[in-house]
Structure 1
């Protein structure tokens, strides 16, 4: 499917000890319904809370790799790159404002790259919680453009937040989505704890 270019099939043992090939993401739950999500209890505030297991990303195990090199090195090796990194930026806010770091880091990286959000064809934004992602999308002026450019294959709420993998997963998915939809310039961004945010601008080549 849409993820075949992002997943390397690996052999491993299932919960019953049998050797099998893992070539799909086990995090995705095809039996999820709106009714089952509505029945979940709030995780933090039992009285009126909105954050549930259904509106937060699953914490999962992951492994990932990316090959990053200079343009000259790629030329010397005869490798055709998928994209170039136009700019990167880190920023931070008060840690009490959970998950808001991608806003200043994205604003910073756009300025560094000499771009505006209108120049960006696709965005991959990590979602720790739905309630965290919404203000980020609002302040980046992406709420009315979600269907066309944000997390087209689902974000971390759908796909999980795999330790050891999130940065490469988000970047890899962005490059895959841009390839599938003929996008040119994209942003991968995520909150990374203690008020921090990181954003990277990729351009397909």
Structure 2
């Protein structure tokens, strides 16, 4: 959650009894124009930062769609910063695997979080950098567990139809070179002479550090709990 100088600052400046020494109104308006278009964001501050837990593929969070995960993070972000939902002017949410999520994922997450319909919402798809557009509320949401399989639209041929995995198509395969991200990692390892043992040792250390951090409560301040509704048997 980021904030900037509000439009009330402009109102106060324009209400001053300016003499000929005052800056032109046009320059004042330019200085305090919308943060989304200003080239110099010197007054931007981060007032709250949270995230949901990261679930395993098709496991505990599989029933929760990406927009609900995003909504939970937005709601907690505002609550912790004590900012009313009707004061939020813009929402930027990153989302990569959008097929099957529905129209306007950022708008969905915004409404589920209780924000008003007047709030401007933009969904960003910049692959792994999708959550980095830091204007007002900025975040990312993803649920690979709910990614769809695709059938190409058109005449149905005789014989079998082949489905395409949405995770691979829109998430894990490079759109230009048509190679999986895992192969990019292998090429990088080869380029820098990183052995399989080196990679395994690094991965093991990363998991151990994460497990220790969870146990010691290092993530407590940033994690938003997610409620999963299950059917009674």
TM bucket (normalised to shorter chain) is 0.3 to 0.5
- Structure with greater strand percent: 1
TM-score (norm 1): 0.38
Q: Larger relative CO (CA 8 A, sep 6+): 1 or 2?
A: 1
- Structure with greater helix percent: 2
TM-score (norm 2): 0.34
